[in-house]
Chain A
Amino acid sequence: MDTFLPSFIEKLVIQYQGDKCTLLNMLWDIQKHFDYVSEEAVAHLARNLNISQIDLQDTLTFYHFFHTRPAGKVKIYLDTSVTAVHQGQAQVQAAFEKELGIVLGEVSKDYDIGLYATPCIGLSDQGPACLINFLPFTQMTAKRAVFIARQLKKGISPQKLLGCLGRKSKKRLRQGQEVTNLIQRKDFLLNDRVAGAGLKKAMQKTPEDIINNIKISGLRGRGGAGFPTWKKWELCRNTESDTHYVICNADEGEPGTFKDRLLLTKHAPMLFEGMAITGRAIGAQEGIIYLRAEYQYLLPRLSRALTIFHKKYLFRIRIQIGAGAYVCGEETALLESLEGKRGEPRIRPPFPVESGYKGRPTVINNVETFCTVTRIMEKGPKKFCDKGTEQSSGTRLFSLSGDILKPGIYEWPFGITISQILTEVRARDALALQIGGPSGTLISAHEKERKICFEDLATGGAITVFSKKRDLLQIIQKHMEFFVNESCGCCSPCRAGNVMLLEFVQMLKDRKAHARNLKNVLQWCRIITQTSRCGLGQTSSNPILTALKSFPELFHNFLIPDPKDGVWNFDLKMATGKYDQIFEKNEHGI
């Protein structure tokens, strides 16, 4: 193998024409062949690309899915997000650990199988789930984990295990149908569609007309921030350049969100059409889909659909796979990643519409935004803005999971109330709802009249319901852990501040937090929110801040009051213990 590596890398670099922008692909290829990216591989690749090893490592070590040490021929990634925990992830993990004789984060040397934790993989409605060599396994139980582990140990490929529930189980998921796409409610976007109609109508319109149609529709971005789509397009169109780009954000990283998964699985042509329509509007001939690594099992399907699309239309689209980093969903981090670098957000301005991919004006939109564009072109903007509220027109997709009887995907008009939602999803004993994932808002189930729309509760589409048997502090803790792990680290307040927030939540859980700690944490929240470069740091305090609003008692009941004289209970004995210990044996401390 060692003699093979240098020639493998040489060929690889020739295959990718030495283009550093394709670094992620090269690293994936190396990892797929050698199970991890060794120091030797880094050295060879750096030499062949004529970059320094440290620059290469800079990118390599940024992404969660790239391994720099032997990581196992088979890699199991367990979803450890809070919803999975509620669904019984701990038992699944324990079963895998016992059967493989390792703990999470380790590799079984005997069987060459690695077991790792990963945040939400977009299957919260059918968890606990895991990825095995990036194939999805859903509705895991301890029994099934034991079954799968034993088969893997025998050398059976994960591909063959898809759909198998266990030896004794008669029930078997339909072959290759691990992932179900439960659609609970359809509307404007998901209702029957005439393929090609949206793009055809757009081709008959001038770019200005297309933009104007989207303006009339009032469509706002579905990725979370809700920026008016037409405005983004117009700004991009007005920036002069030899090339413009259309980029689809299919990173879907916000825990609890899985609606893009449905669109990518079932409605890829609708997405491609939307990107081509955008291309016509802004004057771009080329589009890129940035697909999160967790969804790479969709790649064969998407590629087939793309081949069909390319036969009919001139607009060119390619798909780039990420490598595991929530922050790469942030549009400028996504651009960096597309250029083969660490996914660190850029300083704005300039905005991507002025200087985006490779410095060219670029429109980045969410998967659902593009799909909605296709439908608006097909049916006309009026039909769209009939629904929704004043500032949030139309319908949108919601990913519903948690303690409900009817999880899955719902298309609802904006303005739907919490009370309507709780009834429709058949919530059981609801205590709280997480609207828009960890970076969104935690509200009480009593806030029944609140509305989902940009005027009140904004969301990237995720709604997770928690019942009364859930521990809210644990939820907040898991969400803060998520931000600590996902901060790219370039802003100190986000890198270090989130650690302090997490420590506070842990102290609160252990009933060790004092009133002063909360005061201090609130000051840090302000600093982190106001001085962080990107949306991650700007919203990472939300688990604490929004919980404090909706569930103040959660904090105030458990805080220890501060001593009145301002002398904190400092444990001097503990602090001098180490020093005393040094002189226990002899007074010279030698």
Chain B
Amino acid sequence: MPPKRVIGTISLAGCFGCHMSILDIDLKFLELIELVEFNRSPLTDIKTFTKHCDIGIIEGGCCNDENVHTLISFRKNCDILVSLGECAIMGGLPALRNKIDLYDCLKEAYLNVPSSVPGNQMIPHHPDLPKILDRIYPCHEIVKIDHFIPGCPPCDEIIWKSLTNLITGKSETIPYPFLKYD
């Protein structure tokens, strides 16, 4: 049996929807686990790479400096990087703020909300907190991305097909209905 391929996954500025969609492959997970092992990933709770990976799967774009550092570390530790889902590819829902000035956006979220306590308002800011970027950046604007899997979230079928293609080196086409979202 060939050695197992190593996979890392991460959710940056995403909603974890894409990771949930990975879980949607259900019983096929048993097949998958025969072919691969997971290293750094929310699925394993491994927080830093302990091995070089064959494949890195990225959910979400970059909204803060920590996202950028994480993404770069994925690039350095994986042979192939895959942008999974709309947020990673285009910025997705978070990118709705790209047209809004950062300060206006934070004011609206932290100062002007009805739940803010008068006299005790502040925009969170601490050396331990990541710094918010001026806008959301899709992953390929920061590092080289080798493959893009579209969808919001991509369905389990297309994730399964793409993954097995990547692992086995085959290139089975993905039927059009799986790629059409409107």
Contact = CB atoms under 8 A, between A and B. Distances in A.
A455 to B, nearest CB: 35
A562 B141 CA distance: 12
A287 to B, nearest CB: 41
B65 A576 contact: yes
Interface in B50-92: 65, 68, 72, 75-76, 81
B137 A578 contact: no
A36 B70 CA distance: 55
B134 interface: yes
A314 interface: no
Given A565-B76, A576-B65, A588 B125 contact: yes
Interface string A567-590: 110101011111110110001111
Given A516-B144, A570-B142, A588 B122 contact: yes
A429 B68 CA distance: 51
A564 to B, nearest CB: 10
A348 B122 CA distance: 57
Contacts of B143: 566-568
Nearest to A588: B122
Given A578-B102, A579-B131, A579-B132, A570 B68 contact: yes
Interface in B123-182: 123, 125, 131-135, 137, 141-144
B141 A576 contact: no
Contact of A589 (B81, B125, B131): B125
A574 B131 CA distance: 12
A566 B75 CA distance: 7
A574 B142 CA distance: 13
A566 B56 CA distance: 13
A567 B102 contact: no
Interface in A39-65: none
Interface in A533-590: 562, 565-568, 570, 572, 574-580, 582-583, 587-590
Size category of the binding interface on chain A: 20 to 34
Contacts of B125: 582-583, 587-589
A577 B142 CA distance: 17
A577 B144 CA distance: 24
B93 interface: no
Given A565-B75, A576-B65, A579-B134, A570 B121 contact: no
Contact of B134 (A516, A567, A578): A578
A575 B133 contact: yes
A575 B72 contact: no
Contacts of B65: 572, 575-576
A562 B144 contact: yes
B35 interface: no
A460 B137 CA distance: 42
Contacts of A566: 75, 81, 143-144
Contact of B68 (A516, A572, A579, A583): A572
A582 B110 CA distance: 13
B167 to A, nearest CB: 21
Main secondary structure of the interface of B (DSSP, over half): mixed
Given A566-B75, A568-B142, A579 B133 contact: yes
A568 B134 contact: no
Nearest to B146: A566
A579 B123 CA distance: 11
B6 interface: no
B152 to A, nearest CB: 16
Interface string A21-32: 000000000000
A589 B144 contact: no
B64 to A, nearest CB: 8
B106 A576 contact: no
Contact of A590 (B121, B141, B142): B121
A572 B67 CA distance: 11
B36 interface: no
Q: For A576, A579, A587, which residue has the most chain B Cβ atoms within 10 angstroms?
A: A579
Contacts of B133: 575-576, 579
Nearest to A562: B144
Given A578-B103, A580-B131, A567 B122 contact: no
A576 B65 CA distance: 7
B95 interface: no
Contacts of B25: none
Interface in B92-130: 102-103, 106, 111, 121-123, 125
A320 B125 CA distance: 63
A514 to B, nearest CB: 11
Contacts of B142: 567-568, 570
Nearest to B110: A589
A570 B123 contact: no
A489 B37 CA distance: 47
Contacts of A577: 134
A568 B144 contact: yes
A567 to B, nearest CB: 5
A516 B139 CA distance: 14
A582 B106 contact: yes
Contacts of A588: 121-123, 125
A582 B123 contact: yes
Nearest to B142: A570
A61 to B, nearest CB: 21
Contacts of A565: 75-76
A575 B137 contact: yes
B102 A582 contact: yes
Nearest to B73: A567
A562 B144 CA distance: 9
A441 B147 CA distance: 32
B8 to A, nearest CB: 15
Given A575-B65, A578-B102, A579-B131, 4 more contacts: A562-B144, A566-B143, A567-B142, A575-B137
29 contacts: A562-B144, A565-B75, A565-B76, A566-B75, A566-B81, A567-B76, A567-B143, A567-B144, A568-B142, A568-B144, A570-B142, A574-B134, A575-B133, A576-B131, A576-B132, A576-B133, A578-B103, A579-B102, A579-B131, A582-B106, A582-B123, A583-B123, A587-B122, A587-B125, A588-B121, A588-B122, A588-B123, A588-B125, A589-B106
Interface of B: 65, 68, 72, 75-76, 81, 102-103, 106, 111, 121-123, 125, 131-135, 137, 141-144
Ranked nearest first, the 8 interchain pairs of A and B with the lowest CB-CB distance are A566-B144, A589-B123, A588-B122, A576-B131, A575-B133, A578-B134, A578-B102, A570-B142
